[in-house]
C-alpha cells in the first residue's frame, strides 16, 4: 500500500500538469496584454478617423467656396486658399498617423491570434494530461481499496496494540512499518542482523513479534530469513 501511495503521489502527470499550468498562466497573461493592445489600437484608430472627418469637411467647404466664386474679396480669397493648403497638410499628417495605427493594429491582431492559438493548444494539452492523471489515480485508488480490504481481512484478528504499533512505525518510516527478514538482513534498513539477535529470533515462538534493533521495524520471518 505504501508503494501504491508513493506512486499515486509521484505520478509524472502531476509534474507535467504543474508545468503546463505555469506555462498556460504565462500564456494567458500574454494573451490578455495582446488583447488589451488590440483594443487600445482600435480605439486610437477610430479616434484618428474621427479627427480626420471635420478637417476634411472644412477643406471641402472652403474649396467649394473658392470653386463657386462666393468669396469676391481678393484678400479673403487668398487667406482661404492658404487655409485650404494648411488643411491639406493637416489631413496628410493625420492620414499618415492613421496609416501607422492601422499597421500597428494589423501586427497586434496577428500577435494576439498567435497567442490565442498557443493558449488553446496549452489548454488542450492540459486537459489531456489531466484526464490521463485522473485515470491513473482512479486505478491506483481502486488498487488501494482492494489492498485495504485484504489488509482488514488479514488484521481483523490481530491484537489492537500490535496494529497501533505497526501504524506508528509505518508513519515514521516512509510508509513501511514491517519488513521481511531475508538472508539475515532487514529489508527495511538493509542492515545485517548480528549473531546474538539472530539466535534470539531463532528461539522465538512463531507468534512472537520481532523487531529490527537498527530501524525498529517489525520483522517478518520466512523460510528465507536464514534462522
User: Residue 134 falls within a domain, yes or no?
Assistant: yes
pLDDT class of 207 with cuts at 50, 70, 90: confident
Residue 101 confidence class, pLDDT cut points 50, 70, 90: very high
Domain extent, residue 56, equals: 2-154
- Give first-to-last CA distance, the chain, whole Å: 28
Asked whether residue 118 carries a pLDDT value surpassing 80, the answer given is: yes
CA distances from 11 to 19, 69, 147, 176 (A): 13, 87, 19, 20
Query: Higher pLDDT residue, 174 or 90?
Result: 90
Q: Is residue 40 part of a domain?
A: yes
For the stretch 162-177, pLDDT in tens is: 778 888 888 777 778 8
**pLDDT at 93 > cutoff 70:** yes
Evaluate whether residue 16 is within a structural domain: yes
Greatest distance between any 2 Cα atoms in the chain: 134
pLDDT value at 80 more than 70: yes
Q: Are residues 106 and 178 in the same domain?
A: no
135 within some domain:
yes
CB atoms near residue 212 (< 10 Å): 21
Q: Are 196 and 134 part of one and the same domain?
A: no
Q: Is residue 118 part of a domain?
A: yes
Please provide the average confidence, as pLDDT, over all residues in the chain. Answer: 90
Amino acid at each position: 500500500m505504501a508503494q501504491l501511495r508513493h506512486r499515486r503521489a509521484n505520478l509524472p502527470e502531476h509534474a507535467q500538469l504543474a508545468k503546463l499550468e505555469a506555462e498556460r498562466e504565462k500564456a494567458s497573461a500574454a494573451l490578455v496584454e495582446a488583447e488589451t493592445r488590440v483594443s487600445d489600437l482600435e480605439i486610437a484608430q477610430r479616434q484618428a478617423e474621427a479627427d480626420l472627418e471635420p478637417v476634411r469637411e472644412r477643406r471641402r467647404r472652403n474649396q467649394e467656396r473658392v470653386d463657386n466664386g462666393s468669396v469676391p474679396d481678393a484678400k479673403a480669397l487668398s487667406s482661404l486658399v492658404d487655409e485650404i493648403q494648411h488643411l491639406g497638410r493637416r489631413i496628410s499628417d493625420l492620414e499618415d498617423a492613421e496609416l501607422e495605427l492601422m499597421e500597428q493594429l494589423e501586427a497586434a491582431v496577428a500577435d494576439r491570434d498567435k497567442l490565442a492559438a498557443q493558449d488553446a493548444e496549452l489548454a488542450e494539452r492540459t486537459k489531456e494530461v489531466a484526464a490521463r492523471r485522473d485515470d491513473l489515480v482512479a486505478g491506483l485508488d481502486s488498487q488501494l481499496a482492494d489492498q485495504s480490504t485484504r489488509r482488514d481481512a488479514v488484521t481483523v484478528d490481530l491484537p489492537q496494540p500490535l496494529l497501533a504499533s505497526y501504524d506508528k512505525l509505518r508513519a515514521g518510516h516512509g510508509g513501511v512499518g514491517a519488513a521481511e527478514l531475508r538472508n539475515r538482513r532487514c529489508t527495511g534498513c538493509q542492515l545485517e542482523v548480528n549473531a546474538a539477535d539472530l539466535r534470539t529470533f531463532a528461539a522465538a515462538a512463531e507468534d512472537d513479534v520481532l523487531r529490527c534493533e537498527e530501524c525498529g521495524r517489525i520483522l517478518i520471518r520466512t523460510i528465507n530469513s536464514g534462522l
